[in-house]
Amino acid sequence: MTIDQIRSMAAAFAGVQVFVSDHLPCKKEFRQVRFPKTKGKRIRKKWAKNKRKNWRSVDVEPVIMQINGQVYCNALGYTQIKRGISTTGP
């Protein structure tokens, strides 16, 4: 979904409950989310090896579903909805 499509749908979200859920089926990717403050290659390499602390499974694509007048989305989809509503506000 592009930002233009979300802007056109922003009026439709007025008065609709939006639920953010991490359990929606979407494409996830294992990415490094923590990085050291130093730029040294040796330290960066050590941090990249620590999969338990520094790596997380993150959403890659936004998911927005409408079921019975309620909107369910993941965190990525929610940021897109918020951005679309704030840019089209009065």
Average pLDDT over residues 37-48: 90
- Please give the Cα distance from 71 to 81 (Å, whole number): 11
**Could you tell me which residue, 80 or 10, shows the higher pLDDT?**
80
CA proximity to 60, closest of 83, 24, 29, 32: 29
Confidence band (pLDDT; 50, 70, 90) for 7?
low
Average pLDDT over residues 24-51: 87
Query: Residue 68: which region, alpha, beta or left (left: phi > 0; alpha: psi -120 to 50)?
Result: left
pTM: predicted TM-score of the whole model, two decimal places: 0.50
Per-residue pLDDT tens over the stretch 71-86: 788 877 788 777 776 6
HEC assignment per residue over the chain:
CCHHHHHHHHHHHCCCCEEECCCCCCCEEEEECCCCCCCCHHHHHHHHHCHHHHEEEEECCCCEEEECCEEEECHHHHHHHHHHHHHCCC
